[in-house]
Amino acid sequence: MVCVKNVKIHSHEKGLLFKDKEFLGILNPGRHWFVDPLGKIRVDVVSQRDPWLRHSELDLVVKAGLSEDEATVLDLNDHERALVWIDGRFAAVLGPGQYALWRRFRKVRTELIDARTMRFEHRELNRIVQSSGAAELLESYVVEEGFAGVLFRDGEYVQTCRPGRYLFWKDAGKIRLVPVDLRETLLDISGQEILTADKVTLRLNAAVTYRVADPRKAVCGVEDHVQALYREAQLALRALIGGCTLDALLGDREGLSGKLEDRLRKRAAGFGLEVVTLGIRDLILPGDMKDLLNKVIEAQKAAEANLIVRREETAAMRSQANTARLLENNPVLMRLRELEVLEKIAGSSELKLVLGEKGLTDRLVTML
């Protein structure tokens, strides 16, 4: 019995002809007849309107040869990647392997990339990272504004990255991008209990404003640069305040802050940090010490007030003595002064004259 097979291939299709699991060739559109008594012939019909030629035996099809006018064939090695555009639109990122894309109904463009460069840079970066297959082949990092990214490859420092998006091929090694905040930051150092040189226990709060000057040092030079700065600030406070008396601390807080800032700045530079300011916000004394200081201040203020009163009394008495001497040496001024007093009395109340002694009237009239 003769077994005849009939295969119809439409104008937008191609036929992949296999016989006994061997690829024989590509069939063009039309009707094809095959005599196959043993059932060893197989024709797989694929559409060319789908640009991707997907087949389980694609390697056999590729080896048999596809015309460059019909398809674009990509055979990517381990270190190679490919970018694919279809009809002017980005379609996919391809990893190692074989690929074939029909070109009859679609405009196909490909770009080969060497993944050994580790970092992937392209003018259409944002579009590519959102495409099919990108997440499987690329690692994406974003360095925000005000930050820097310290890049390591297989544990080795590579570079310090500015703000922006960065893509790296996953098979290029172990990639790590550490973000570092470059903005000014306030570090509170609160609740520090320190014994002064004259054995007074103080509790103080301080504040350090700093920024990262060298991101690489901040990441590689110390495990945690914020904790390291906090620890160094604590040690600087204890060393400096422990060598000063209470009176010196209360009398020159600005000078103390300057000395602390200079000491801390030198140490922080080793961590890649720049100390902008350091200030002591609060000096908290024990309750009994507060009472003693309040009494001392009260006594000082009372003594100052008493001194001011005495100084004013002395000045007033000196002025009166000078006035008396002036009136004694100038009778006319004495008479004028007497008239001023009488004028004030007459203007403020009713004036009554009582004439008793003979001659008093004449003296009064003469005086007036």
> What value does the mean pLDDT take over residues 18-46?
86
pLDDT of residue 183: 94
Which distant-in-sequence residues (6+ apart) come within 8 Å of 22 by Cβ?
Answer: 60
pTM of the model: 0.65
Residue type, 352: K
Q: What integer pLDDT is reported at residue 182 of this predicted model? A: 95
Lowest mean pLDDT among 45-59, 213-227, 296-310: 296-310
pLDDT, tens digit, 9 for 90 and up, residues 266-307: 889 989 999 998 877 777 665 555 555 555 556 666 667 677
CA dist., res. 241 & res. 202, Å (int): 9
pLDDT score recorded for residue 142: 92
- pLDDT of 349 reads 59
Given pLDDT bands bounded at 50, 70 and 90, which one contains residue 193? Answer: confident
